[in-house]
Structure 1
């Protein structure tokens, strides 16, 4: 082999080695770039998922705040109307006192006072359950006596029963009407029945008469 051929061979070998080294370095760099891009892509995807979850949580929280505000406003309005209705007790007491003789005014006022209390007691024990309990053939309710469903405990937490308005709020609202309905009739009973008769009527009105009609119309009854 001549000197020129040997020199040319060395050059070719050197070029081949150089190309091999360059190829290896280039492939390594590309692999590193791909490896670096994958975590970056995963990080972007995780960040997007986190942002979507945060946005969903914000929407749920805002909806919950709106619902709580609506319930608070409804409760305030219902209680206000119940207070106004309950003031009718005083009006009917004064009206009844004007219908009778002076000697029976004190007894009539006492009857009106007892009428509201006894009607409320009967409506709490039996009446509310008949009015808004589980319907039996659309005639009367058969559950929630003594407001047994007004408060429940879930995982040690107090949960107030009711759909939107609590049962306590609805009870007070309906009690105001029950007491008024009972008092209207006692105006016609003034000086015609004794004190015991008025008490018996108040208990029956709060436990049966008013609740049955309420169930028929507003409690899921046949009307």
Structure 2
């Protein structure tokens, strides 16, 4: 069974989602503020975190930032009752793996969680991929460029792995989303673009200034050689 940490100040919602997720085979711990969530994370890291943007003792985005500094590859799914595009963008920029607006369908939440957990435990992952000055370890989520190591989030790691499987060949956005995010993109869904943007910032361009990850307008992305 996968253990989830549900962080939301809405206790009634936590009970509802907790009951549903338990029936779906998850073990659920719930925290209703940032302080108790930090204690729970220090005691035992869960398989995944469901985190609300608004918490009574601070911003869920600040907690996400701390989470990413301490648990780089821990899958995190953000929730927000406000549904503001800025919340979604900030959450993805700070390293959230996925994002849902509240109220959400428990079935969709379950499907998103299962997708992100499948991505965190891929069935067949190469131990190391080397292309030019870039060396990537998918299992560790670490990329090394000229011996300088960078740690990637789960989504960034899966995107880079998918692109490096066929360097120089474009990957359609929907195909890349299925491989890296475990789901299809919906209308106005820019989550894949945000993850790619974060990844590009981390790994930077080639030594000659060319971008490592090239975007093809309305088509997709590829890793340039």
Question: The TM-score by the shorter chain falls in which range?
Answer: under 0.3
Q: TM-score, normalised by structure 2?
A: 0.23
**Greater fraction strand:** 2
Higher RCO structure (Cα 8 Å, ≥6 apart): 1
Q: TM-score, normalised by structure 1?
A: 0.23
**Greater fraction helix:** 1
